[in-house]
Amino acid sequence: MCARNPGTGLDLSWISRVQVNQPAVLRRAEQIQTRRTVKKDWQAAWLLRAVTCIDLTALSGDDTASNIHRLCFKAKHPIREDLLRAMNMHDQGITAAAVCVYPARVCDAVTALKAAGCRIPVASVATGFPAGQTLLKTRLEEVRLAVEDGASEIDIVINRTLVLTGHWEVLYDEICQFRKACGDAHMKTILGTGDLGSLTNIYKASLVAMMAGSDFIKTSTGKESVNATFPVALVMVRAIRDFHRKTGIKVGFKPAGGIRSAKDALAWLSLMKEELGNDWLKPEFFRVGASTLLGDIERQIYHHVTGRYAAHHDLPMA
């Protein structure tokens, strides 16, 4: 993970001046999505880069210890070994960026990854995920317990009510408390953008989260009706860029929810390269929250190597 964001004071004057040009955002977002993608070896290389930025996620009500063990095995071996050997990439240490689970499953993930002999970090959602509507002391305790159980990354979720009502000082204070409760664990702040009402609110919430010390800002829980979209992402990465220019602090970005295809992954990488630069093409500053994306990427890699698409039994762990 990257160096921590130490945070800054809350700059209400900056927040009050924010206005987002929605038509311009929509035009730029459409341009990114319709651009021609890379092909052949270049595409395969970009897809392998995307693999290293995936937070492989299990956030279902029926998660069990065995599900988490399988998830951790897949995180360590995201692409079949013979496919990597055919591309001469078998010795490059390609793994998922992290495993993301509920707090109750952190111990299972830590145990499984330790048994597998790898150092992939465990990320835990917290703070009343996905709604963020539990009592503050309960949300703080959830963060502390996840860290105690071995989570090295915490994906907190904000109380969206504070954004909708413009209570920026309260939001800033809550995120600062979550940051303190994380200790040495890196903190990703989920904005729940589908619930925030406007692109202007999304930009303002992004600024407040970064001022409060978030190491990443994240679009969604994956449980909202609208999750990661390119207009929302464009607003958030522009906030990251503006914050970096003003403070010198780099903050990461994580889209989550609805990202399912290799083509989607290439478009997100293109967005990061064009808007933020090459530093944001690394897992230190870019993550993708996904549960099914890896399967499609592996199918595309299989096709690149063999010239044919995989049957269901060819990729049993996908």
Q: CB neighbours (10 Å) of residue 82?
A: 11
Query: At 83, which amino acid appears?
Result: L
From residue 70, alpha-carbon distances to 36, 48, 67, 78 in Å are 35, 21, 5, 11
Instruction: Please spell the DSSP secondary structure of 52-115, one letter per residue.
Output: TTEEEEE--TT--HHHHHHHHHHHHS-S-HHHHHHTT-TTS----SEEEE-GGGHHHHHHHHHH
Active-site pick, 74, 204, 250, 254:
254
Of residues 157, 153, 152, the one with CA closest to residue 138: 157
Contact between 144 and 181 under an 8 Å Cβ cutoff? The reply is: yes
Contact predicate 201/192, CB 8 Å: no
Name 53's bridge partners.
none
Give the DSSP H or E segment for 218: strand 216-218
State the residue for tokens 């530093």: 279
Catalytic residue among 155, 195, 215, 296: 155
Contact 54, 287 (CB under 8 A): yes
| Surface-to-core class of residue 34, CB atoms within 10 Å of its CB (0-12 exposed, 13-18 middle, 19+ buried) | exposed
Rg (CA), the chain: 19
Is 263 a residue of the active site?
Answer: no
296 labelled catalytic: no
Q: Where are the alpha helices (DSSP H) in the chain?
A: 12-16, 22-34, 40-51, 65-76, 81-86, 106-115, 136-148, 160-164, 168-182, 199-211, 230-247, 262-275, 293-306
Catalytic residue among 74, 204, 218, 250: 218
218 is catalytic: yes
Which residues form the catalytic set? 155, 218, 254
